[in-house]
Amino acid sequence: MTDSGPGSAAGSGPASGTERASEGLSVTIVDGYVDEPAHFGVPPYISTYPRYTAGALVDAGVPREQITYHTIDGLRDEPDRWRDVDEADLMIYLGGMTVPGKYVGGTPAEPDEVRKLAWTANGTSLMGGPVKFGVGDENAGATETERQDLDFDFVAKGDVEAAVHDLVESGLEGFNNRMRDVDEVSRWAQQGAFVVEQHPNHPDYLIAELETSRGCAYRCSFCTEPLYGNPTFRPPPTVVGEVDALADYGVKHFRIGRQADILAYGGDGEAPNPDALRQLYGGIREVAPDLETLHLDNMNPITIVEWPEQSREGIRIIAEHNTPGDTAAFGLESADPLVQEENNLNVTAEECFEAVKIVNEEAGWRPGGPDDPTAGSSQPDPNARQLPKLLPGINLLHGLKGEREETYQHNREFLQRVYDEGHMLRRINIRQVMSFDGTDMSDTGAEIANEHKKLFKRYKRQVREEIDNPMLERVAPPGTVLSDVHLEYHQDGRTFGRQLGTYPLLVGIPGERELGRTIDVAVVDHGYRSVTGVPYPLDLNDASMDELTAIPGVGDRTAGDIVVNRPYDSVAAAALETTIDVDEFVTTRPFERAD
């Protein structure tokens, strides 16, 4: 493996010969997907890595038309695409999972697939992204990792986009492992926006991850984000310019996800800066007025507790500009004081509870509803049945140093208190730790997580049954309308889909519908982490038996009677006896008679 060489250092310009050589270079970028504590790139998301890498190539003189982008799923689905891997002068693999997850829209590349890429490439091969932190036997929790080259010619141990830029300028001879600067990433973000057009999900089912900062002011034992150093921020105009460029290439869905704490954006790394948030969100809305999704990811609860008034202002700004269903992920990780101390966790359970309360107060309103602060003097909309604007999500991590049986009880009690006191959580993420070199968890590894696997499974099931189900009904009560649900797959006679956004609800719809379409859905029932929905509005004069029986209280006999006695002039005429109020989402359209 080579990870450095005689390539140009940061800031040096290309020689004229290199410039001419780069114009004839063919490059293939393969996206194996990323999942980091503050960065996501599994479809329908596209991470920053392929876009910034493409921009770095263009900046180094490679023509856009000679840059080919494939996802790992694209290679799996169409084997002919491997020819681009084989024939490229330069093949770049981007990937790496540093937090475990379960994915619907795509399957991250496994280590054997990545090796196959290196073996297939006849040109120069380079690997980069969070894969530099380590590779496990599989992409799962309770695993230990080690750094591997997976048979690539080069591994970027700094920023992969900087490595690509310098490698091309060196005539593919080598590069220095360095980090890119703000000017470079701002330039490359706009120059590489074109590559989204080559994503299989473009344009309708693609959400672009946006980077506002990297690094973290805190040093939790397990997290790879501090390996990027202290927080560094991109000025609002540079992020807004990137959104402008992406919008020009048809992107309408955005997530401000690449940062450890959105509230700290544009400040000193810890304290909130509401003015920076106002410039960022207001600027995005100005350059992309037709955007359909604007969500975020990470928000540090300790920021809210230590600077409550500035945080409240920042949260209000976000809720004013975002789209409904947004989620602010809170890294509580553990409610156990012993685990908090041994792992340098920066927020206590009491502090996190206070932060949950504040986000609910400032952003837990539904557009058009009675608590909508943007409605002014207008009357509340009786049909306001959307998801709340912004709610907290809770991340809980198991297998950390000091974990014991009492840890699980502490976590359950915290979640139960949130529910009992009337607050909402959009999502509870429960996972087991992955251990990476360079973090404090590397000494402990996955030993504790493996010892507690049975305890973990039992506790996780309890949370799903006792907290998730009633909490989901509170967040999305029957009649809640989910617009533009993308239909993704069939299972057990139902069609499953999701909206685009941060941690979107999985929706099961009766019957097997055409995939790839979008429909509006009304929620009628709740699982642990998913909901059952029917097409919105549901027409009694046209609804199927399966759609009718999905409504709680409507059995096969009642549904059969409804079908036999159609048409109806009104919903009341059907005399439905249900356990939920259907007037909000059920209608009766008149039959169209043939001439």
Q: What is the CATH number of the domain that holds 407?
A: 3.30.750.200
Report pTM.
0.89
Same domain, 186 and 39: yes
pLDDT of 370 reads 86
Same domain, 419 and 359: yes
Q: What is the rounded distance in angstroms from the CA atom of residue 73 to the CA atom of residue 256?
A: 25
Q: What is the rounded distance in angstroms from the CA atom of residue 499 to the CA atom of residue 488?
A: 10
**Average model confidence (pLDDT) for the chain?**
88
Whole-number percent of the chain with pLDDT over 90 = 71
Number of domains in the chain: 4
pLDDT of 227 reads 67
541-579 confidence digits (pLDDT tens): 999 999 999 999 999 999 999 999 999 999 999 988 888
Same domain, 409 and 359: yes
Same domain, 224 and 151: no
CATH number of the domain where residue 513 is located: 2.40.50.140
Q: Is residue 3 part of a domain?
A: no
Q: Give phi and psi for 167, each to the nearest 5.
A: -65, -45
Element (H, E) at 58: helix 48-59
Q: Which two tokens stand for residue 339?
A: 């685990």
Instruction: Report the candidate in 390, 392, 406, 295 with the shortest Cα–Cα distance to residue 351.
Output: 392
Same domain, 509 and 413: no
Beta bridge partners of 507: 497, 531
Beta bridge partners of 485: 519
CATH number of the domain where residue 188 is located: 3.40.50
256-293 confidence digits (pLDDT tens): 988 889 999 998 878 999 999 999 999 999 999 999 99
Neighbouring C-alpha atoms within 13 Å toward the C-beta of 591:
9
Q: Is residue 332 part of a domain?
A: yes
Query: Is 90 exceeded by the pLDDT of residue 380?
Result: no
Can you give the residue range of the structural domain that contains 561? 537-594
Task: Give mean pLDDT, residues 528-552.
Answer: 95
Q: Is residue 270 part of a domain?
A: no
Q: Which two tokens stand for residue 521?
A: 């859905």
pLDDT of 485 reads 97
CATH number of the domain where residue 575 is located: 1.10.150
Q: Is residue 250 part of a domain?
A: no
Same domain, 462 and 562: no
Same domain, 215 and 351: yes
Name the CA dihedral angle for 525, 526, 532, 533, rounded to a multiple of 10 degrees. 60
Q: Is residue 247 part of a domain?
A: no
Residue ending a domain, among 431, 453, 475, is 475
Residue ending a domain, among 535, 555, 579, is 535
Taking the mean position of all CA atoms in its chain, how far away is CA 397?
18
pLDDT of 149 reads 76
Same domain, 77 and 186: yes
Same domain, 518 and 570: no
Query: Is 70 exceeded by the pLDDT of residue 181?
Result: yes
Q: Is residue 498 part of a domain?
A: yes
Q: Which two tokens stand for residue 591?
A: 């039959």
pLDDT of 296 reads 97
Residue ending a domain, among 429, 444, 475, is 475
Query: Is 70 exceeded by the pLDDT of residue 436?
Result: no
Same domain, 584 and 546: yes
Query: Helix H segments across 178-300?
Result: 182-191, 236-248, 274-287
5-52 confidence digits (pLDDT tens): 433 333 334 444 444 578 899 999 999 999 887 789 999 999 999 999
Same domain, 531 and 563: no
Query: Is 70 exceeded by the pLDDT of residue 298?
Result: yes
Helix (H, G, I), strand (E, B) or coil at 27: strand
Q: Is residue 265 part of a domain?
A: no
Q: What is the rounded distance in angstroms from the CA atom of residue 84 to the CA atom of residue 230?
A: 38
140-155 confidence digits (pLDDT tens): 434 444 556 789 999 9
Same domain, 426 and 516: no
